[in-house]
Amino acid sequence: MRRRAKPPLPQRLGLDPVRMRMPAEGPWRTLREHLVFRLPRVDPERIDEMLRERRIVDLDGPLGPDAPFVPDGVIWFHRDLPVETPVPFEIGIVHRDEDLLVVDKPHFLATIPRGQHIAETALVRLRRELDLPDLVPAHRLDRVTAGLVMFVITPQVRGRYQTLFRDRLVHKEYEAIAGYDPDVVLPTTVHSRIVKEKGVIVAQEVPGESNAETVVDLVEHRGGLGRYRLSPRTGRTHQLRLHMAGLGVPILNDDFYPVLTEKPLDDFTNPLQLLAKTLEFRDPLSGEHRRFESRLRLSAWS
């Protein structure tokens, strides 16, 4: 995979600067005019302040208040960070070598910066705590799901490991705690078509050709609850949660399925009982078989 050139601004607090490309044409005479148009949620006075303080740069250096609009030009700057409530759980190190870092991500911690979760993400925390500025994730895990996430340390090989996940060459197993229903015949393979619209918080199963597949098996049950093994063969958004809800046994503490329930971002109680348990693949560099297993346990069962 082709990598972009190194940005002219260093990381700040483990975060890369924002990279913004200008459109090929437009009515703007100055960079400021374009940024006011392009960033409607940012106060124009804040844009003026950043330009006065030379916090916006291109490859030739800092840009001032009178900088012209340059078609197809590229600029970099550091975003203002939102106020975030610290996620009060540690990231566990499962494996580390020259190229790979495999961690146990706790519930409620996002994998990468997005939306209201910037500094309080696994990527940014690990870059800071382990002094690994080039660290990137090989894949992602939902904020509310705990368990294994694999990161790549060495920039030169990141594409080789990311391709494993893109091409579905990694065998994943999850563990989930949900209600037990003796009428649900398991093991079973669930097929459905899942659609996630931009700007809509939940995904939906809709009629049409299947694009999502999960093998569901019951490991054991007690006290009205079951411990399930989930093996996704595809990677659609919220796939496991939708498929369990569709079987009539939604995952315990799921605030999205089958009914959406809003939960404050600083509420760290009642975590979703879903754990990314194992990752297994053939290493693209050495050819060796590799298997990693989470050390975490789901509280509703343990």
Q: Which residues are catalytic?
A: 142
DSSP line for 113-148: -BTTBSSSBHHHHHHHHHT-TT-EESS---TT-EEE
For residue 265, CA distances in Å to 197, 213, 262, 283, 298 come to 22, 30, 9, 37, 21
Q: Is residue 271 a contact partner of residue 107, using CB atoms and an 8 Å limit?
A: yes
User: Nearest 5°: CA angle at 23, between 21 and 25?
Assistant: 150
74 in Cβ contact with 59 (< 8 Å): yes
Contact, 217 vs 187, CB < 8 A?
yes
Measured between alpha carbons, how far is 133 from 11 in angstroms, rounded to an integer?
A: 8
Query: Secondary structure of the chain: what % helix, strand, coil (to 5)?
Result: 15, 30, 55
- What is the rounded (10 degree) CA torsion for 159, 165, 166, 171? 150
> Can you tell me the distance from the alpha carbon of 148 to that of 25, in angstroms, rounded to the nearest whole number?
45
How far apart are alpha carbons 251 and 228 in whole angstroms? 10
Omega before residue 71 within 30° of 0, cis: no
274-282 and 146-152 as β-strands: parallel, antiparallel, unpaired? parallel
Q: Which amino acid is at 34?
A: H
